[in-house]
Amino acid sequence: MTQHRLGNRRSWLRARAALLLAALGIAACTREAAPAWAGYAEGEPVYAAAAVAGRLSRLAVRGGDMVKEGQLLFQLDDSLERAAGAEAEARARSAAAQARNTEKGRRREELAILEAQLEQAGTQVELARSELQRQQQLLAQGFVQRARVDDAALALRQAEARRSEVAASLRSGKLPARVDERASAEALAAAASQARAQVDWRLAQMSQRATTAGQVIDTYREPGEWIPAGTPVLAVLPASGRKVRFFVPQAQLAAVPPGANVLLSCDGCGEPMAARVSFVSPRPEYTPPVIYSGTQRAKLVVLIEARPLRAEDARRLQPGQPVDVRPAASS
């Protein structure tokens, strides 16, 4: 009797365990799986171009090369610009010298000549004054006529005028140029300096260096070709330019708002990569075929872009590579 009861209890326990496992199985089957969306990697390259035209003389990198910020990418022929730079430099020095010259008076030797002339004019004044006094005495004694005195007075006035003239020339020789002349010379010097700066800028444009670290994904020109201004010579893809584009059904759009974290996984990429949603398109679109009906409304999707949080993860993404995207909470 005891064994019979024990057997019934064991049967009851087995049945209960089976029911519990079945319930767990049903719950697992009915639990909603985490959504996963298909997407692809895309790159936003930085195109290297010169702002001036020229002949490509050197291509320092090739497709696939990794470059650092500031590394030389390509060089245009700058022989003409160097010649123009030398000319502009000479003109700038000449204009600057002329501007400095207007700030000075005459040379020391020229001033010495004027000083000697002034001394000579002073001597002539003294001689003319002495002669006038002598003629006046002779007139008073009745030995000469009045005309001789007048002639002596005139000679004195001429000597004094000559002395004043030389003195004025000496003072003028010590002064700088007039204000307007100095302003004109300074303006010409400034214009020559700006012309030199323009040539320097054009010369600097002949050598283009990487503005960011990244990978050279393509080159479009070869040495010897003429490159028009603004035409890209090559493209560099930085880590910050790698992103993932994927499409999310409108019913699941709330799971990936702007700024949401997601996980990216792809074949050969290793561990999933953490990324953040950087763009959500404001315009939904229909997956083909485009049929505006109630049954096709489930195919309405929204374009979303996400960028990896770490640069080393971004470098694992190759443009065009298929990528699976899941909410970060599902990890």
DSSP state of 53: -
Q: Are 300 and 286 in contact (CB under 8 A)?
A: yes
Q: Would you say the C-alpha torsion 82, 84, 86, 92 has a positive or negative sign?
A: negative
CATH of the domain at 148: 1.10.287.470
What pLDDT score was predicted for residue 177?
57
**Per-residue tokens: 330:** 């599902």
Q: How many CB atoms are located within 10 Å of the residue 1 CB?
A: 5
CATH of the domain at 301: 2.40.30.170
Q: What is the mean pLDDT of residues 243-255?
A: 89
- What digits encode the pLDDT tens for the residues 62-89? 999 999 999 999 999 988 888 887 887 8
Residue 1 lies in a domain: no
Residue 213 lies in a domain: no
In a shared domain, residues 112 and 192? yes
Beta bridge partners of 207: 75
In a shared domain, residues 186 and 246? no
Surface-to-core class of residue 49, CB atoms within 10 Å of its CB (0-12 exposed, 13-18 middle, 19+ buried) = middle
**Per-residue tokens: 152:** 């002596």
What pLDDT score was predicted for residue 102?
64
Q: What's the maximum distance between 2 C-alpha atoms anywhere in the chain?
A: 190
Q: Are 222 and 18 in contact (CB under 8 A)?
A: no
**Containing H/E element for 306?**
strand 300-308
Domain hosting 104: range is: 95-197
Q: Are 214 and 237 in contact (CB under 8 A)?
A: yes
| pLDDT reading at 243 higher than 70 | yes
Residue 63 lies in a domain: no
In a shared domain, residues 176 and 246? no
Look at residues 137, 169, 197 and tell me which one is the last residue of a structural domain. 197
Confidence tier at 292 by pLDDT (50, 70, 90): very low
In a shared domain, residues 170 and 118? yes
Residue 24 lies in a domain: no
In a shared domain, residues 193 and 103? yes
Q: Are 327 and 277 in contact (CB under 8 A)?
A: no
What pLDDT score was predicted for residue 62?
94
Q: How many CA atoms lie within 13 A of 330 on its CB side?
A: 17
What pLDDT score was predicted for residue 2?
44
What pLDDT score was predicted for residue 305?
94
- Mean pLDDT over the full length of the chain: 80
Q: Which of 156-165, 217-226, 279-288, 291-300 has the lowest mean pLDDT?
A: 291-300
Structural domains of the chain, count: 2
What are phi and psi for residue 190, nearest 5 degrees? Answer: -65, -40
What pLDDT score was predicted for residue 329?
65
Question: How far is Cα of residue 253 from the mean position of the Cα atoms in its chain?
Answer: 40
What pLDDT score was predicted for residue 233?
96
pLDDT-above-70 percentage for the chain: 80
Q: Are 196 and 92 in contact (CB under 8 A)?
A: yes
What pLDDT score was predicted for residue 275?
95
In a shared domain, residues 257 and 179? no
- What digits encode the pLDDT tens for the residues 103-151? 666 667 777 887 888 888 888 888 888 888 888 888 788 878 888 888 8
What pLDDT score was predicted for residue 287?
64
- What digits encode the pLDDT tens for the residues 312-331? 999 889 898 999 999 986 44
What are phi and psi for residue 219, nearest 5 degrees? Answer: -120, 140
What pLDDT score was predicted for residue 152?
84
In a shared domain, residues 104 and 174? yes
In a shared domain, residues 100 and 160? yes
Beta bridge partners of 209: 72
| pLDDT reading at 166 higher than 50 | yes
Which SS3 state, helix, strand or coil, does residue 263 take? Answer: strand
Residue 107 lies in a domain: yes
Helix 146-174 with 108-141: angle, nearest 10 deg: 160
Which has more pLDDT, 110 or 31? 110
What pLDDT score was predicted for residue 165?
83
Surface-to-core class of residue 234, CB atoms within 10 Å of its CB (0-12 exposed, 13-18 middle, 19+ buried) = buried
Q: Would you say the C-alpha torsion 45, 50, 54, 56 has a positive or negative sign?
A: negative
